[in-house]
């Protein structure tokens, strides 16, 4: 469920949108991000404006900053150049405000922390840790590499879903063409002998005639149904309920769990390599977990604070896989927890890629078979009376 949180962060009023199972968990998540919650309310329904909300280009910003700092520009000069060349009004305003905070004496990490909707908490923490060592460029490089890995995984999932959607859309259009154009032509042939047709053929002919005579109504009904389904998916309560049902599916739920854990390990590893303490890194990485897993993470962090080993705490909370647990044990002995977290993420990204490839190879043929059977059924029902007439003549 989505909650709108009004809070104070560094004496600045901010508005956050947090997905959580309950209001209490949403408030806890906001406090993890260093916010004092003033007001919290569930987001009901949706706003069309939210579909076109301008998103701050954090990846491009980090790349440009790294390039300019590497080229010898100072931090302020680099920000001034980025603010001047930015075309998006909200992003330009954000960079201008960041510059104002820096001119007032704040550090770079403190300045961007006033804008949590644009700069995630783990991003701010990474830059804050780099300021203590004086290596801002390394922190930016680390984030760019992290973002590339996460984006690569996200693109694989998006690419795997495009072809099935195209195939389903084309199949639907072909079936509608057969029903709305071809079937009425056969209805004219069978007009004098309609009562003697098999019941399935009569139903098909009746459906085709209805579509032909009410084409506009049918098209509007289909568009309304598609729009209604999209609107329902944007309603927070219904979307949360649907997500819970999806997570309960055996194979799909395991895949989603692995996908979120992979992002979580990748983010935690980046923060640990940046010098962030373990518990703080876990707290900041909680944004990468689905809200159903955040309660389990709270249990793990509680155990770590009580002195239990990280590997044991994570395993007890159900936030490890057999491979991840073994690698965490090794990391505790070697002391290279951040590096091992990133290796765990890399390993599971390979598993995720193989799962996506397997799903694509299996689902696409099944979808083609289903569409082919549906089209074949329509054709057979249209020609069935002709086959019966030919049989009777013989």
Convert the pLDDT of each residue in 302-355 to its tens digit. Answer: 888 888 899 999 999 889 989 999 999 999 888 889 889 989 988 988 888 888
- Residue 292 tokens, joined: 């159903």
- Residue 72 tokens, joined: 């010898």
Convert the pLDDT of each residue in 131-163 to its tens digit. Answer: 777 778 888 888 888 888 778 877 877 777 788
Contact 31, 37 (CB under 8 A): yes
Convert the pLDDT of each residue in 55-74 to its tens digit. Answer: 788 888 889 988 988 888 88
Q: Do 58-146 and 147-394 come out as alike in CATH topology?
A: yes
Phi, psi of 160 (to 5 degrees): -65, -25
CA dist 8 and 11 (Å) reads 6
CA dist 357 and 349 (Å) reads 12
Contact 68, 81 (CB under 8 A): yes
Q: Three-class SS of residue 201?
A: helix
Q: Which comes out higher in pLDDT, residue 91 or 40?
A: 91
Convert the pLDDT of each residue in 115-124 to its tens digit. Answer: 878 888 778 8
Reduced to 3 DSSP states, what percent helix, strand and coil does the chain have, rounded to the nearest 5? Answer: 80, 5, 15
% residues pLDDT > 90 (the chain): 5
DSSP annotation string for 1-23: -EEEEEEEETTEEEEEEEE-SSH
Average pLDDT score over the chain: 80
Which CATH number applies to 147-394: 3.30.365.10, 3.30.70.890, 2.60.40.10, 1.20.81.30? Answer: 1.20.81.30
At residue 45, the pLDDT reads: 45
* CB crowding 1-27: b at 16 or more within 10 Å, else e: bbbbbebebeeeebebebbbeebebbb
Convert the pLDDT of each residue in 240-270 to its tens digit. Answer: 677 777 777 777 778 888 888 888 898 888 8
Q: Regarding the domain delimited by 58-146, which CATH topology (the fold level of the hierarchy) does it fall under?
A: Receptor-associated Protein (1.20.81)
At residue 328, the pLDDT reads: 92
Q: Where in the chain are the domains?
A: 2-44, 58-146, 147-394
Q: Three-class SS of residue 275?
A: coil
pTM over 0.75: no
CATH no., domain 2-44: 3.10.20
């Amino acid at each position: 469920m989505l909650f709108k949180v009004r809070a104070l962060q560094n004496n600045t009023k901010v508005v956050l949108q947090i997905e959580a199972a309950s209001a209490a968990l949403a408030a806890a998540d906001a406090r993890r991000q260093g916010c004092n919650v003033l007001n919290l309310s569930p987001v009901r329904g949706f706003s069309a404006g939210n579909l076109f909300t301008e998103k701050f280009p954090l990846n491009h910003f980090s790349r440009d900053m790294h390039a300019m700092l590497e080229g010898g520009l100072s931090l302020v000069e680099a920000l001034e150049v980025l603010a001047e060349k930015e075309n998006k009004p909200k992003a330009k305003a954000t960079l201008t405000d960041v510059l104002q905070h820096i001119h007032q004496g704040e550090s770079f990490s403190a300045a961007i922390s006033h804008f949590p909707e644009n700069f995630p908490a783990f991003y701010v923490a990474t830059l804050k840790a780099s300021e203590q060592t004086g290596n801002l460029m390394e922190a930016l490089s680390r984030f760019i590499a992290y973002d590339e890995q996460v984006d690569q995984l996200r693109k694989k999932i998006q690419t795997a879903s495009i072809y099935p959607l195209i195939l389903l859309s084309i199949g639907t259009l072909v079936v509608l063409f057969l029903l709305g154009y071809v079937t009425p032509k056969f209805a004219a042939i069978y007009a004098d002998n309609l009562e003697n047709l098999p019941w399935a053929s009569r139903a098909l002919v009746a459906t085709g005639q209805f579509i032909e005579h009410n084409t506009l109504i049918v098209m509007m009904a289909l568009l309304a149904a598609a729009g209604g389904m999209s609107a329902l998916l944007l309603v927070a309560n219904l979307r949360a309920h649907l997500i819970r049902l999806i997570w309960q599916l055996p194979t799909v739920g395991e895949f989603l769990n692995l996908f979120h854990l992979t992002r979580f390990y990748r983010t935690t590893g980046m923060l640990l390599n940046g010098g962030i303490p373990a518990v703080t890194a876990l707290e900041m990485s909680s944004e990468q977990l689905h809200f159903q897993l955040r309660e389990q993470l709270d249990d793990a962090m509680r155990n770590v604070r009580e002195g239990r080993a990280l590997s044991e705490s994570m395993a007890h909370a159900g936030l490890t896989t057999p491979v991840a647990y073994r690698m965490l044990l090794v990391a505790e002995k070697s002391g290279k927890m951040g590096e091992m977290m990133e290796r765990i993420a890399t390993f599971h990204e390979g598993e995720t890629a193989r799962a996506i490839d397997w799903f694509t190879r299996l689902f696409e043929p099944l979808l083609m078979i289903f569409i082919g059977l549906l089209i074949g059924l329509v054709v057979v029902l249209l020609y069935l009376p002709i086959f019966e007439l030919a049989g009777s003549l013989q």
